[in-house]
A and B are shown apart, each in its own frame.
Chain A
Amino acid sequence: MFESLGNLIAFQLLRLGPESHLGAAVQFFVMDLTKIFALLVIVIYVMGLLRAMLSPERVRAFVRGRPDWQARGMAVTLGAVTPFCSCSSVPLFIGFVEAGIPLGVTFSFLIASPMINEVAAVILVGVLGWKLAALYVLAGLLVAWFGGIAMQAFHPERWVEDYVWKIRMGETGAIETDRSLLGRHRYALGEVREIVGRIWIWVLIGIAVGALFHGFVPADWVTTHLGGDDWYSVPLAVLLGVPLYSNATGIIPVAEAMLTKGVAIGTTLALMMSVAALSLPEMLILRKVIRWPALALFAGVLAVAFTLVGWTFNLIA
């Protein structure tokens, strides 16, 4: 449906040739723009209706004092299913520390949160198919799980700012929520407005980049420079992703364009993860609670993990 809409606008309305660069780019842009935004609205609305009340306050209460693997499982799940405003990472971090939850578990959460969310997962299924979506989510969960364990091995406690240890968290009563159908509908609409309002620009940029890549970058060039089995293409993709920042949803159209041009799957996954999870703004926010050595280590552990994921998937494929 979205493909034929793209064809209609690019080839019939604008009379561009399907073989021309511009025609291919416009067709891709229209197709992805309509498809991704339609999916975004539907997914966020349905999630809002279900209103998964897995709040971090609840998870914190549940996790404290549990064995590491249980705590880590909950932390990764929470990170994966709930989208947070990135400014929440500081109070979340402090709240976890205050509950005596190991730092490695908290890092697992911080890795999972930007990289995986249910909205990105559904859009991945819609754009790239369920196999790739499952691979991405699985790889993300693995990186979050083992990345947190790797961080713990370096005893990051020594780099936590002193004031963090002194904060005492208060108890709060349950917040009343409107559970009627109308209340849920209103909440869901609010969620659509809020989340789409926050991420649309990243998605639009991603679609534009994907469309340009699709229309103007020749497939031969890609296979020569990015598609080969050269070992360095994966770490290169990870490095490229560091200065680039986008929302996990915004990077999907770029990945789509790369895959259709023959970029290796592991290389594409590595770039996606790097763009979504390794970002300077996020690091600067975390600087409020941990010092530079821990941040550098965090970035290093993630870069190594993404590279390993990329190599593994390139080998399997």
Chain B
Amino acid sequence: MKTFKVLGGGCRNCEVTADLISQAAKEAGVEIQLDKVTDMAEILGHGVMSTPGVVLDGKVVHAGGIPGPDQVREWVKG
């Protein structure tokens, strides 16, 4: 199962990003684990300064904004 982390201090853009991912997973019928990380130490621990960021299976795949829907679908099925 894929694990996603959305990195961000809890602003609206971070919420939107998390929703996009769970929505895409539901549409693809894929089980995923999704965590929202708001702890600054952990966010910076991933080397990300511009939020929201997305971590997929421990690897940073996106930072600095809401990801595109196509991108999100790639992550979920890929």
Interface residues of A (CB under 8 A from B): 55-57, 60, 84-88, 90-92, 94-95, 98, 163, 166-173, 175-176, 186-187, 190-191, 194, 198, 288
Contact = CB atoms under 8 A, between A and B. Distances in A.
A124 to B, nearest CB: 24
Contact residues on B (Cβ < 8 Å of other chain), bracket: 20 to 34
21 contacts: A57-B49, A60-B49, A84-B64, A85-B65, A87-B9, A87-B14, A90-B9, A91-B40, A94-B49, A95-B49, A168-B41, A169-B44, A169-B45, A169-B47, A170-B46, A171-B47, A172-B60, A172-B63, A173-B59, A173-B60, A187-B68
Name, among B8, B14, B44, B63, the residue most crowded by chain A CB atoms within 10 Å (CB to CB): B44
B61 interface: yes
Contacts of B41: 163, 166-168
Contacts of A94: 40, 44, 49
Interface in B21-70: 40-41, 43-52, 59-66, 68, 70
Interface of B: 8-11, 13-14, 40-41, 43-52, 59-66, 68, 70
Contact of B44 (A170, A175, A190, A288): A170
A176 B71 CA distance: 11
B63 A92 contact: no
B44 A55 contact: no
Given A57-B49, A98-B44, A194 B14 contact: no
A175 B47 contact: no
A57 B68 contact: no
A263 B48 CA distance: 44
B61 A88 contact: no
Main secondary structure of the interface of A (DSSP, over half): helix
B15 to A, nearest CB: 11
A186 B46 CA distance: 26
Contact of B40 (A90, A186, A198): A90
A86 B66 contact: no
A171 B65 CA distance: 19
Contacts of A176: 61
Contacts of B43: 91
Contacts of B68: 186-187, 190
A90 B64 CA distance: 13
B61 to A, nearest CB: 6
A170 B42 CA distance: 9
A190 to B, nearest CB: 5
Contact of B50 (A57, A166, A169, A190): A57
B18 to A, nearest CB: 14
Contacts of A187: 68
